[in-house]
Structure 1
Amino acid sequence: MSQETEHFAKLTEIRREYTLGGLRRENLPDTPIMLFNQWLQQACDAQLPDPTAMCVATVDQQGQPYQRIVLLKHFDEKSMSFYTNLGSRKAQHLQENNRISLHFPWYFLDRQVMVIGRAEKLPVSQVLTYFHSRPFESQIGAWVSKQSSRISGRSCLETAFREMKEKYQQGEVPLPSFWGGYRVNIDAMEFWQGGKHRLHDRFIYQKQDDCWKIDRLAP
């Protein structure tokens, strides 16, 4: 057996049983956000690293999907919000196609949550309030990075950071015109709880008028 084939064989042997719990229809709340809030709190209580981290998926004009990790900053009964550079790749995609998917990989708890929805820009007033709540260095970092653009090296970022930090050291950092956020209006949410023998529990909430339709999905 070649070294490459042996390595591949070892990968196929990596598996484990999912035994941390189950999910039953009679225990589900009427709205997905209630269950999401419960799971998020449990992820925080379990001290998972970055419990608000979510994979954000968008699609370009050629139908090519892209994914990246972004932090959830707000949620309510109907939506979830995050902030980003409005010149970034994800923002360019959303300008042409506002369909979006979010994914929370809480695999330490044998759980996943997927969100499907439509993104819209947050009002400037909300963006401004959040921007000034960020640490000073994070505000400066937003100014110096033209997100997703090609750069010659890290040194140009570090130089720009030092210059901007010195410029605004004694005053308030203004909101960059190219920095904003998105509200994802939720159309569907899917909850996955790992189960023994790969008999996982999956439920999907789908928005229908002013209520939610709940279905169990095969694992």
Structure 2
Amino acid sequence: MWLLIGIGTVIILALIAYTIYGHKRHITPSKGQKIDLSQRPNSALLIIDLQEDFTLATGKNAYDPALVDKTISAINELVLIANETGQPVISVRQIFKGLYINLLVKFLNKGRGGPKSAGLDLDARLNGDIDHDITKARADAFSEPELEKVLERQKIGKLQIVGLDGNYCVQSTMQAAINRGYQVSFSDAAILAVNPTVWQKTRARLAARGAKNGDIKATAVAS
């Protein structure tokens, strides 16, 4: 009996350790090769995880619907500016991969972001033309090689990054972009965070690393 208890304890501890490792890996920004800004004069708008799974969620860890409406309105204004000035608009959507992580997502977050979810599409309130739609499995959008390929092809060196959540996928993507030498900007009005207090601290850390915070019109730069 004690042997079975011991084996069970080891298995539980191993699962806990693996979960902690997986979470850390999921949110850790990637490094990547430094870009040459002199060869990347263009700008792009990058929209993170603005999917129905997250924007229409209810209950624990859900966003205030009124705040979601306000944020999407701000993002739509950015999309309009980008469309009018010829900047590419890139959406990046979360689709979790792996049996274990999707099991956790199923039980802890109602399957949101899982490959079988019905809410993986962009929120229908998002207006304007989306030039590229990329899916990712980790928080950092640069973990998906297709993003860097798109940015390289279009000589993008300046990124305005918006979406959700400011404390997770948005900040991880910003950090990864800064790690690669991109000029990064954002707007509070176009970023959702379940925990606004933590977002204030996250925003300060991003600003310390060089990310620029400004209003919508001021941060939109034509290609």
Report if TM-score (shorter chain) is over 0.5: no
The bucket for the TM-score relative to the shorter chain is under 0.3
Which has the larger Rg? 1
Report which structure shows greater RCO (CA 8 Å, sep ≥6).
Answer: 2
TM-score (norm 2): 0.24
TM-score (norm 1): 0.25
